[in-house]
Amino acid sequence: MTLTHLFKAQAIFAWIWVVMFWLFPNVPADSFGFVLADNPDLVTFGQAASIPILGIGAISWMAPTWVGGEHLKKLGMLMGVYLNILFVAVQLFHISTDAANLDRFGMFATAVFVGLFYWKCR
């Protein structure tokens, strides 16, 4: 697996979330312990939040063609390690304050991306 493959895999992972927010909003809501029947505004929020996720996916997909060599490793550390660690930290904060449940799928996949990006960028 190359760094290019990791960027593409991260893009696909981001786009899966976008599709879930638009077509199957109960899936991401349930994974965090939210009930859409209690707050239908979460669907609207999820759809709005999915637009930057779509952009992150596009940047991840195109990054290997835009950036080359050692610079791709720097971008991999930023997008694949640091931003994913931030995502994990925010989710752990929400779990610790009982604001959300542990999203096993998202947390596991994100942790795997952190490890793989770190391995390929060092």
pLDDT for res 113: 97
Residue 69: the pLDDT is 84
Q: Which pair of tokens denotes residue 41?
A: 């505004």
Report pTM: 0.90
The C-alpha angle 113, 95, 8, rounded to 5 degrees, equals 20
pLDDT per residue rounded down to tens, the chain (122 residues): 899 999 999 999 999 999 999 999 998 888 888 888 788 888 999 999 999 999 999 999 999 999 988 899 999 999 999 999 999 999 999 999 999 999 988 999 999 999 999 999 99
- Alpha-carbon distance 96 to 116, whole Å? 26
What pLDDT shows up at residue 37? 78
